[in-house]
Amino acid sequence: MLAVDAVDETSGDLAGGLEHLLTAYGNLAFDPEVISVYRLVVGECVRFPEIGRTFFETAIKAAGGAITRWLVQQTRRGLIELDNPERAAEMLRGMMVFEPQRAALLGQAPPPDAAAIAARARACAMLFLRGCQRWEARQALAGLS
C-alpha cells in the first residue's frame, strides 16, 4: 500500500487517483504470497486466534486505513461526499477483490494478472464515483426536483 502515498493529492484527477489506489490494493490482495498466507491464517485462526487477530490488525486494517485516509482527504478537498469514509473504504475493498480473491483462495481460478487488476480497479472506481443512479433519480431522491 506504499503506492497510496504516490497518489498526487493535489491532482484534480479524482478517478485516476482512486483507480491508482485500487490497483495498488488489488496488486497486494492478489499477490500469490498474500493468498498463501491468507489461506494459512484462515486455516489456523480457529486453533490460534492470535494469528487471525495479528493478520487482521497488521494487514487488513492497515490496508483499509490507507484507503480510508485517502477518502477522508478527498472529502476534505470537497471532491466527494461521504458520511462514513471507513465504511466506504470497506465497500471499495470488497468490490475490488472479494469474488476473484475468493476464487483464488479456493483454487478455482488463478489470481488476476496486472491487466485484469487494472481493469477491475478502473471499473470499481467509476462505479463508486458515479454511483448507479441517473442524475434525475438522484435529484428526486434528494428532494431537489
Quote the pTM value: 0.83
Cell of 134: 441517473
Domains of the chain (ranges; CATH) run 2-141 (1.10.357.10)
Task: Look at residues 118, 73, 113, 74 and name the one whose alpha carbon lies nearest to residue 96.
Answer: 118
In tens, the pLDDT along 58-115 reads: 988 888 899 999 999 999 998 999 999 999 999 999 999 999 999 999 999 999 999 9
Range from 65-74, 107-116, 119-128, 131-140 carrying the lowest mean pLDDT: 131-140
Cβ-Cβ contacts under 8 Å for 14 (sequence gap 6 or more): 74, 79, 80, 129
Cβ-Cβ contacts under 8 Å for 50 (sequence gap 6 or more): none
